[in-house]
Amino acid sequence: MAYKVTFIPGDGIGPEVAEAAKVCVDATGVKIDWETHKAGEEAIADFGTPLPDALLESIRRNKVALKGPITTPIGKGFRSVNVALRQALDLYACVRPCRLYPGIPSHYDKVDLVIVRENSEDLYAGIEYDDGTSEVKELIDWVKSHGGKSIQSDAAISLKPISASATERVVRFAFEYALKNGRKRVTAVHKANIMKFSDGLFLETAQRVAERYAGKVEFEDRLVDNMCMQLVQRPENYDILVLPNLYGDILSDLAAGLVGGLGVAPGANVGDKAAVFEPVHGSAPKYAGLNKVNPMATILSGALMLRHLGETSAASRLEQAVADVVKEGRDVTYDLKPHKDDPTSVGTKEMAAAIARRLKKG
Ligand code: NAD
């Protein structure tokens, strides 16, 4: 029986990379019934909202979605559909494997990291008070009267909630991921020496969860600033990193840089009831419709989706087909050539077709 999967092409370069991923997932031979849904700017015309209920219902029903990136207007306009989707479906763990494939231009020989980022709280909770408002003034007065610290009167304030419950579930997710995927060690990343309560609670909770996995998966912790330096100097020493939302966002891009850039970094947003698979990169509007960008990040997100569905052999074959095409270096997009203006680079569609051919050849 075919799996039902919600398919969200997105906008900008989204439709091109999402279609490329669909072609490659289909080429594995796993039967998928794709249910296509619009989101973002183009959904507003039809549904009056960038995140239609029909789309959310489709994901709730199917439990799995493959998604292209969606543009968030800067300043005015609607808030991020990507963040709203994760909140609406409680997709609390953002998983971003960063593996260096032979053939990709990089400063490193071996990188094979998985970033597990908490997706629901921290400074991304969206609790902010603008400068000059009565709320911020009240907050500044409250802080002064509860501990005596003064905040400049012209400040804006963002709150950083970190809870034991949200930390516990994401750290548990990281350990379970380690067990399922044969990984050896989880490193919790924090700044608990400075933020003793919020990051302190993250660390304490991580240590408590780690005890349950003693003897099965190793555990250690690192300060986030030191972690950045360690990743640049010795990325091969790390395995799975689990981090609060903001550090996870920043270190995901750092780790993508270690393995060849945004064009190659896949991702998944996972909750207890649904999972949405999408590349780390955004909609890169300046490349939209040019059949130019790298589809690899979205194709590898498709492989993560297959593994999540239990189709582990198809997932491994897809990853191997990507690895073969990249290693060969012929049918790859401009960003994977030694020089970006290499006239032999191929388009998005052609790279996906080469990967699909490789799969069909077996
Ligand atoms: P971006 O990731 O879209 O692009 C930044 C640069 O990275 C591009 O100009 C390009 O040089 C490179 N790049 C990105 N994808 C590539 C690919 N597949 N192949 C080769 N090179 C690639 O980041 P941005 O410009 O900051 O964001 C553009 C829009 O995307 C914004 O509206 C942002 O909000 C949105 N966004 C969406 C998501 C999502 O849907 N999950 C994630 C990030 C950003």
Confirm whether 191 is a catalytic residue.
yes
Cα dist from 258 to 113, 128, 227, 283, whole Å: 10, 33, 14, 21
pTM: 0.93
Q: Please check the confidence at residue 75 and state whether its pLDDT lies above 70.
A: no
CA 333 to centroid of ligand 1, rounded, Å: 16
Top CATH class of 1-95+264-362 equals alpha beta
Which is the closest atom of ligand 1 to the Cα of 335? Answer: 20
What number is the average pLDDT over the span 64-68?
98
Average of pLDDT values for 38-43?
93
**Segment 180-211, tens digit of pLDDT:** 999 999 999 999 999 999 999 999 999 999 99
If you average pLDDT over residues 37-66, what whole number do you get?
95
Q: Which residue CA neighbors atom 36 of ligand 1 most closely?
A: 282
213 as an active site residue: the answer is no
pLDDT tens sequence across 278-315: 999 999 999 999 999 999 999 999 999 999 999 999 99
Per-residue pLDDT reduced to its tens digit, 233-252:
999 999 999 999 999 999 99
Q: Percent of the chain scored above 70 by pLDDT?
A: 99
Residues 6 or more apart whose Cβ sits within 8 Å of residue 267: 94, 95, 96, 252, 277, 278, 279, 280, 297, 301, 304
Burial class (CB in 10 A: 0-12, 13-18, 19+), 117: buried
Our answer on whether the CB atom of 294 is closer than 6 Å to any ligand 1 atom is yes
The residue ranges of DSSP E strands in 199-313, in sequence order, are 218-223, 240-243, 266-270, 275-279
- Examine the residue annotation and report whether 124 is marked as an active-site residue of this protein: yes
Q: Which CATH class is domain 107-121+162-258?
A: alpha beta
Rounded Cα–Cα distance for residues 151 and 133 (Å): 14
- Burial pattern 185-201, b for ≥16 Cβ within 10 A else e, equals ebbbbbbbeebeebbbb
Active-site residue flag, 286: no
Q: Does residue 100's CB lie within 6 angstroms of at least one atom of ligand 1?
A: no
Residue nearest atom 42 in ligand 1 by C-alpha distance: 282
Q: Fill in the amino acid letter for 18.
A: A
State the residue for tokens 């997706």. 119
119 lines ligand 1 (CB under 6 A): no
Identify whether the C-beta of residue 83 lies closer than 8 Å to the C-beta of residue 124.
yes
pLDDT of 220 above 80? yes
Structure confidence at residue 192 (pLDDT):
97
Domain residue spans in the chain? 1-95+264-362, 107-121+162-258, 126-160
Alpha carbons 27 and 315: distance in angstroms, whole number: 11
* Catalytic residue selected from 11, 199, 249, 335: 249
C-alpha separations of 165 from 7, 121, 217 in Å: 31, 11, 21
Banded pLDDT at 124 (limits 50, 70, 90): confident
